[in-house]
Amino acid sequence: MVPGCHDALSAKIVQNAGFQAVQVSGFGLAGSLLGKPDVGLVDMKDILDITGHIARAVWIPVMADIDTGGGNALNAAAITERLIEMDVAGVNIEDQVFPKRCGHMEGKQVIAADEMAGKVRAVAAARGRLGKDIVINARTDAYAVHGLREAIFRANLYLNCGADMVFLDGIGTRADIERAVREIHGLLSVNLMDGVTGVKTELVSIPDLAAMGVARVSIPVASILAMHKALSDVFSALYASPSGILAGETWRLTGFKDYTDFVGLPQYREMEREFLPSLVAAAH
C-alpha cells in the first residue's frame, strides 16, 4: 500500500501513520500548488522542486510522478537523472498525450505504444548510466481509450523495455484486474480510492488484491481530498460562528504543541542551544 501525498507535510503524516512508502500525487500537486485540476498545468520544475522537498522530509521510499515525462524520451531521461540525484526511490511515467489529465477523468488520449516504449527505454538507460537504482513504474491509460487487451499489450511492451512495474490506470472491474494479473508478465500496480465517488475502478479490498497477485496499490488522492474536506469544514464553521471563534471545538484542530513537535521544533530549539550565541538563543 502506497498512499499519495501532495506536499512534504502530508508525506510526513503518511510516514508517521506507519506506511512503508509514499507516492507523490500529480492530482494533489495540481490542487495544492495551483488550486487547479490535474490537466497538465503544473510546470515540471515545480514538480521536481516539490518532489525534492518531499524526499528530504521523509526517510521512507518516495515514488515521483512525472506525468508524461516532460516531453520526448530525452526529456524523460534527463528528468529521471534529476530524480536519481534526489535519492527518489521510484518514478511514474505515463503514455498519455500531453497535456495529460487525471486517469479517472474523461477525454484521455494516449501516444503511440512505440513512442512510450522509447521513453521507458530512455529512462532505463539513464538509470544504467548513473549506476543507481530507481523503480520505473510505467503507466498506461490505454484501458479507457482502447480497452483491456491494448492495455495489457502495452504493459508487457513497457516491461520488455525496462520498466520494473506497470500501472493500468482507470481499470474497471475485479474481473479485468484478475485478467491483467494473469496476462501481464511482471509486477502490476493499481490504484484504489475508497469512499470517493466518480472513480472508474471497482473498489476491491487490499487483501483481495493481494490474493489476486497485484503487487502494489496506490491511494493517490486521499491526502488532497482529506485536506480539502477538513479545511472547508473548519473555515465554513469559523465563518458561520457568531463569535468569530470556534470555542470548544478543539477536535477540529491539531494542538499547537502537537503540531510543532511533529514538524521538529524541539530539535531545532536544541540546535539553537548548541550552536547559537546564548543571547540569540535566549531571545527565541
Rg over CA atoms, the chain: 21
pLDDT at 194 over 90: no
Are both 148 and 273 inside the same structural domain?
Answer: no
Residues 282 and 143 in one domain: no
Please say if the pLDDT value at position 141 is more than 90: yes
- 242 part of a folded domain: no
Identify whether 48 is part of a domain.
Answer: yes
204, 219 in Cβ contact below 8 A? no
Give the confidence band of 27 by pLDDT, cuts at 50, 70, 90.
very high
Does one domain contain both 267 and 172? no
At 247 the pLDDT is: 82
| pLDDT confidence of residue 283 | 63
Arithmetic mean of pLDDT, 167-171: 92
In this prediction, residue 105 has a pLDDT band, given cuts at 50, 70 and 90, of low
Angle between helix 113-130 and 73-85 (nearest 10): 30
Q: Note whether 221 and 280 are same-domain residues.
A: no
pLDDT digits (tens, 9 = 90+) for 66-97: 999 999 999 999 999 999 999 999 999 999 99
Q: Quick one: 270 and 210 in the same domain?
A: no
Asked whether residue 261 falls in the same domain as residue 147, the answer is no
pLDDT at position 104 is 63
Query: Both 11 and 61 in a single domain?
Result: yes
pLDDT of residue 246: 86
Q: Is residue 39 part of a domain?
A: yes
Q: Is the dihedral of CA 69, 65, 9, 132 positive or negative?
A: negative
Q: CA-CA distance, 200 to 224, in Å (whole number)? A: 18
- In terms of DSSP H, where are the helices of 31-146? 44-57, 73-85, 113-130, 142-146
The pLDDT assigned to 284 comes to: 60
Residue-range definition of the domain harbouring residue 73: 2-227
pLDDT at 197 over 80: no
DSSP SS3 for 218 = strand
Regarding whether 283 and 190 lie in a shared domain, the answer is no
Q: Is the pLDDT of residue 149 over 80?
A: yes
Using the predicted structure, report yes or no on whether residue 198 has a pLDDT greater than 70. no
- Is there a contact between 21 and 89 (Cβ–Cβ < 8 Å)? yes
Q: Which residues are registered as beta bridge partners of 190?
A: 217
* pTM, full prediction: 0.91
pLDDT of residue 229: 95
In a shared domain, residues 144 and 276:
no
Is pLDDT above 80 for 250?
yes
pLDDT grade for 269, boundaries at 50, 70 and 90: very high
208 and 280 fall within a common domain: no
Q: Which residues pair with 24 in a beta bridge?
A: 5
pLDDT exceeds 90 at position 61: yes
Q: Report the number of distinct structural domains present in the chain.
A: 2
Q: How many Cα neighbours within 13 Å face the side chain of 233? A: 10
One domain, residues 278 and 204: no
Q: Kindly indicate the confidence band of residue 139, based on its pLDDT and cuts at 50, 70 and 90.
A: very high
**Is 80 exceeded by the pLDDT of residue 155?**
yes
Which residues, other chains included, contact 249 with Cβ-Cβ below 8 Å and sequence gap of 6+?
237
Domain annotation covers residue 150: yes
Give 142-147 contacts, CB < 8 A, sequence gap 24+. Answer: 142/95, 142/110, 142/113, 143/168, 143/169, 143/170, 143/171, 143/172, 143/176, 144/103, 144/108, 144/170, 144/200, 145/108, 145/109, 145/110, 146/110
Per cent of the chain over pLDDT 90 is: 79
